[in-house]
Every structure is written in structure tokens, then in C-alpha cells.
Structure 1
Amino acid sequence: MTAALSAHHQQLAQRKREAITAAATKLFLERGYDGTSLAKIAQEAAVSKSTLFKQFPTKAALFEAIVTEYWKRGPDPAAPATPPGDLRAGLSAIGRQYAELITRPAMAALFRIVIAELPRFPELGRAQFELGKLPYFTSVQHYLEAQHTAGTAVVPDSESATNQFLGMIANYALWPRMLLADWNPTPADINHAVDEAVTTMLTRHHPTTQHP
């Protein structure tokens, strides 16, 4: 009986947490970070302020949870579902998964909030980088390091290689959205950008390539 009640309470707490993060995301996108109060979030989520504060004692903690959740919806690039040694397949899988992640409407909107509020709330930038971007970057870096160790790629500088690969994709799929309201490439356009990034990486890092 006690275990059943405990499980029920955990499920109830999880549902309330999801309601809070959904309400906060909606209000942050509509009103900005500074224009959204915890009281308004509690009202939108239909929970008491004490329930909200128990889950998220500060607005910054709530924003951090949202950032973490959005980035965790992406794949684990350290273990792509591709045959071992198939560098093209592995990079293609990572590239397409990354493109799908960063082209979600809410992801671009989160970046806009961070950029707009950064002068007054630098903690938002740290949250986006340290809780979202950095863990994802690290997982891709570890994938490339594993390929280098296995001899399926030559990647002596995995940090630079990861920057270059993800940067080639984000420079087409994400960053124009920050400035161009009508930037809306088709899925075929995105896939082509990923394919070109993969080809560039293979040209540079495939073990059959002549390296200096």
C-alpha cells in the first residue's frame, strides 16, 4: 500500500512538474524572461505557488530545467545506431539528428530569449551553454574520439572537428532564423546541408585521406 501511494505521489509530482515547465515555456516565449513572473506561471499551470516553489525555487532554476529538457530530447551521439566503422553513416545520423533538434521552433525561440535577455540575465546564457549545448557538444566529441581510437577516423583534434561539424550544420539550419523571419529551408535543403558537412568531414578525417 505504501509503495503504491509513493508511486502515485511521484506520478502526481511529475505531472505537476510537466505542467509547470509547459506553462513557463509558453509564457517565456510570449512575454520574455523578465516579463514572466513565477506567480503567473503558477496560475497558468493551475498549481499553487508553494507547489511551484517546491519544484523550482527561482525563475532561473525553472529556465535551466526547460533548457536541459529541450537539449535532452536530442539523441545520444556517442552511440549512433549505425554499423561500427561506417563513418559516413555515423556522421550522417548525428548530423540529421542535430539538425532536427536545432530546427524545432521552441529551440530557436529559446536562443532568442537568451540573446535578448543576456545583458541583464547572464545566467541564462550560462544555462543554455553549460546545461544544453556543452553536454551535446561533448557527446559528439566523444563519438569522434572513439572513431579515432578505433582507427575508423583520423581526428587528432576532436574539439576542433566537433566545432566544425556542428557549426557547418547550425550555420545553415539555425542561425539565419535569428535574423530572417522568412528563413524556412525545406527538409531537402537541410538534408543537403548535412550531407555537405559529412562530405567535408570525410574528406578531412577519413583514414584513407592523406594527412600531413
Structure 2
Amino acid sequence: MESEALEREAGASNDGSAKRRQITDGARSVFLTAGFDGASMNDIARAAGVSKGTLYAYFNSKDELFEAIIRGEFAQSAERLCVFRREGDARDMLMDFGVRLISRMSEPGTRALARVVLAATEKFPHVGRAFYEAGPLYGATRLAAELENLEKSGALKVPDPERAAWQFVDLCQSYVYKRLLFGVVDSIGREDIEASVEAGVDVFMKAYGAPQRPV
């Protein structure tokens, strides 16, 4: 009897997770199409294929739902992104990470979500904080830890790894990503991303590269 009860509980939990995913998938499409202000809970319920009562059983408000989408969007992708290359030297690691980072940021869905967040943040600051914590802060914190390891190994000279991590991300974005985010261009190619990241790595290594030992 106890095992049957546990099975029922597990099944209910799985059903709840699937329903929650169904709702967030439908809501994501509405937010990206209509923007935060333009999205209504009625539209979201319709897109998700659930009743409005079911929607509110999982999420108390539109901004709570949007925050859940943001955190879910970055949870797995951030972990995959922040696996750092071990082959090669510090420059190779930075180049690999920078290209993967800007490629991810440049994907249509990612940049569309960023625009919706920027528009919603003035009214709902916690939405902006969720985006910041789940994306930029997570990545910069993981990169800072990697830079600290490279400092300890003598590969880099980085007195403030946290500051250096943010500087590196900004260097990689620079020209290409900002034009994309603000609609100056519709897309950027792999070559442009690699060129931007390489230029950023050049500047970073000049600032933080370990002094060459005399032969």
C-alpha cells in the first residue's frame, strides 16, 4: 500500500511538472510575440491550452510567470555554456568561451527575451534581477572562478578576477552584439562573432597575460 501511494505521488509530481512546462512554453511564445505589457493571462492560457484557473493554480501573476520563464531559460543553457575548455592555453579557453557566449546571446530567441526583459524591468525590477542573476551574473561568476584558477597556475595575472570577468564579457560583446540587440543589423555571422571575440581576447591578454619568463 505504501509503495502504491508513493507511485501516485510521483505520478502527480510528474504531471504537475509537465503541466507547468506546458504553461511556460505557451507563455514564452506569447511574451515574445506581444511583449510583456501586451501579453494577457487570457492569451497565455489560450496559447498553453489550459484554463485560466489552471494557470493561476501554478502562477499567481504574469510577472511571476515571466520570471519563471527567465530562470528556466537560463538554468540548463548557462550550465552547458560555463563548461570551460581544458585543452590548450588560457587564450584558447577564453576564445572558446567567448565565441560560445556571443553565439548564444545572438540567437533570435535569446535576444528577443532580453528585449522583453528590458521593457518590463522599469515596472517590475525583480524581473530584471532574475534575468541578471540567471544569465550575466551566473556566467561572470563562473568565469571569475576560472580566471582565479588561471591566476594561481601562473597563466594569467588577474588581481581582481570578478572585475576581469565582466570586462572580458563586455569586450566580446562590443561592436557586434550591441548592433544586433538594438536592431541595427538583423543577424551576425560566425566570422563576425569570432573576429569580435578575438579582438576582445587580444585586449584582455595584453592587460592580464602573465609576463613572459626570460629564456
Which category describes the TM-score, using the shorter chain as reference length? 0.7 to 0.9
Alpha-carbon distance in structure 2 between the residues aligned to 1:187 and 1:143 = 25
1:190 CA displacement: 0.8
Following superposition, the deviation at residue 101 of structure 1 comes to 1.7
Match of 1:99 in 2: 102
**Is structure 2 residue 4 aligned with structure 1 residue 8?**
no
Which piece of structure 1 moves more, 67-76 or 26-35? Answer: 67-76
Q: Does 2:129 match 1:121?
A: no
CA RMSD of aligned residues (A): 2.3
Give the conservation status (yes or no) of the 8 Å contact 2:32–2:113: yes
Rounded to whole Å, the distance in 2 between the matches of 1:161 and 1:89 is 17
Query: In the TM superposition, what are the counterparts of 1:1-212 in structure 2 within 5 Å?
Result: 1-72=4-75, 73-75=77-79, 79-83=83-87, 86-209=89-212
After alignment, is 93-102 or 10-19 more displaced? 10-19
Structure 1 residues 109 and 204 mapped into 2: Cα distance closer, same or farther (>3 Å)?
same
| Contact 1:103–1:173, Cα closer than 8 Å, also in 2 | no
Matched residue SS, 1:34: helix
Q: C-alpha separation between the residues in 2 aligned to 1:98 and 1:194?
A: 10
Compute the TM-score of the two structures, normalised by the length of structure 1.
0.85
Displacement of 1:38 in angstroms is 2.1
Write the deviation string for residues 86-143 of structure 1: whole angstroms up to 9, x where unpaired. Answer: 2122212211221122011122112211233333333332222233321222111111
Structure with greater helix share of residues: 2
In structure 2, C-alpha distance between the alignment counterparts of 1:131 and 1:74, rounded to whole Å: 8
The Cα of 1:165 is off from its aligned counterpart by 0.9
Q: How many residues align?
A: 209
Q: 1:131 to 1:90 in 2, by over 3 A?
A: same
Structure 1 residues without counterparts, runs of 5 or longer: none
Distance in 2 (CA, whole Å) between partners of 1:17 and 1:114 is 21
* 1:43-68 C-alpha deviation (Å, 9 max, x unpaired): 21112333322322222221112212
How far apart, in 2, do the equivalents of 1:127 and 1:173 lie? Answer: 25
Deviation at 1:32, TM superposition (A): 1.4
Distance in 2 of aligned mates of 1:7 and 1:102? 36
* Paired AA for residue 156 in structure 2: A
Instruction: Return the offset for 1:77.
Output: 5.9
CA distance in 2, matches of 1:40, 1:95: 38
> Partners of 1:172 and 1:20 in 2: how far apart?
36
Unaligned runs of 5+ in 2: none
Deviation at 1:27, TM superposition (A): 0.8
Give 1:209 shift: 4.9
Shift in CA distance, 45/133, structure 1 to aligned 2, threshold 3 Å: same
1:156 Cα offset (Å): 0.5
Matches of 2:71 and 2:210, distance apart in 1: 35
C-alpha distance after superposition, 1:127-172 (max 9, x if no partner): 2223332122211111111211232211102122112210122223
